Amino acid sequence: MRRGLLLLLLALFLSSCAMTYGERHHVARGETIESIAAARGLSASEIREMNYLGPADRVSEGDTIFLPAPGDSPPLAKAAKKKIPAAPEKIAPAEKKPVKAEKPAGASPPAIVPAPPPAKQKPAEKPETAASKPSSARLLWPLAGAVVRGYGEGGGKGIDIAARGGERVKASAGGQVNYAGLPARAYGTMVILDHGGEFYTVYSNMSALIVKTGEKISAGQVLGSSGDYLHFEVRKGIGAVDPLLYLPAR
């Protein structure tokens, strides 16, 4: 059960369009993205997108990639296929003629009671927008470098932080290592930290790791060393959010 949960998390982090996770595939000698796609009845572009592989990227024997489940569509696409039933036609009620009540002899008119003043209504609460700063605890910067690519640029789900190869990468908050390893060649060595409450941080394009899956981590603890930059993501549930909303301004 633990292994299945971990694989599902990895698929959600690696898929930029929320495709359903199918399976992990170990590349055999002579296999290419195109040959794997043809053998499984999949789209080569979907496989590349799920594994962050560009058109010119190639896989080699021994690489591990993730394959989408054949025939699955993104949730929004599935929802669009459902037909919305037409609203039932409203039938106007039959007009009723008022019946005059006879006034009994000697009856006095009813006393007029003033209506109570309307109760004061509370103003509607302002919905929280995606751009509003979260009220939860803030994160630590994993590196001291400048942000060289912002959230959403080029379709990215995180930010890229400049680094000199071999710099120490630190945990932005305390938690548990959900994954540590090399899930996909183009994504680089990666660490996923679970901070509880379906809140995760992702550190990728690392050159080396000193933590392992299942290990308890403290905020600021060194996870490993960087490559020439660090790709950093913040996830709430299965959705990505802008890390700069949680990181201190500098």
Instruction: Report pLDDT digits (tens) over 16-39.
Output: 433 334 577 888 989 998 998 888
Angle at 133 between CA 132 and CA 137, to 5 degrees: 150
The reported pLDDT for the residue numbered 97 is 55
8 Å CB contact between 68 and 47: yes
Domain boundary pick from 41, 73, 105? 73
Residue 194 in any domain: the answer is: yes
The reported pLDDT for the residue numbered 70 is 58
Structural domain for 24, as ranges: 2-73
Residue 226 in any domain: the answer is: yes
The reported pLDDT for the residue numbered 202 is 94
The reported pLDDT for the residue numbered 96 is 54
Residue 210 in any domain: the answer is: yes
The reported pLDDT for the residue numbered 83 is 42
Structurally, the chain folds into a number of domains equal to: 2
Angle at 96 between CA 94 and CA 101, to 5 degrees: 165
Residue 240's nearest CA partner among 141, 160, 156 is 156
Residue 114 in any domain: the answer is: no
The reported pLDDT for the residue numbered 127 is 40
The reported pLDDT for the residue numbered 72 is 47
| Separation between Cα atoms, residue 180 and residue 19, nearest integer Å | 22
Q: How many CB atoms lie within 10 A of CB 82?
A: 7
The reported pLDDT for the residue numbered 66 is 74
- Mapping DSSP to helix (H, G, I), strand (E, B) and coil, where does residue 45 land? helix
Residue carrying the six token digits 């959230």: 151
Residues 6+ apart with CB under 8 A from 236: 198, 199, 200
Residue 37 in any domain: the answer is: yes
Q: Do both 66 and 155 map to the same domain?
A: no
8 Å CB contact between 59 and 27: yes
| Separation between Cα atoms, residue 233 and residue 243, nearest integer Å | 6
| Separation between Cα atoms, residue 187 and residue 231, nearest integer Å | 9
| Separation between Cα atoms, residue 10 and residue 212, nearest integer Å | 15
Domain of residue 38, CATH code: 3.10.350
Give the chain's residues under pLDDT 70: 1-22, 52, 69-137, 184-187
Q: Is the pTM of this model over 0.95?
A: no
- Using only the alpha carbons of the chain, give its radius of gyration: 29
Q: Do both 151 and 238 map to the same domain?
A: yes
Domain boundary pick from 73, 97, 130? 73
8 Å CB contact between 192 and 13: yes
Q: Do both 154 and 66 map to the same domain?
A: no
CA 189 to chain centre: 20
Residue 92 in any domain: the answer is: no
The reported pLDDT for the residue numbered 23 is 72
The reported pLDDT for the residue numbered 73 is 41
Domain of residue 167, CATH code: 2.70.70.10
Residue 135 in any domain: the answer is: no
The reported pLDDT for the residue numbered 120 is 59
8 Å CB contact between 158 and 151: yes
Domain boundary pick from 18, 51, 73? 73
Residue 46 in any domain: the answer is: yes
- Mapping DSSP to helix (H, G, I), strand (E, B) and coil, where does residue 32 land? coil
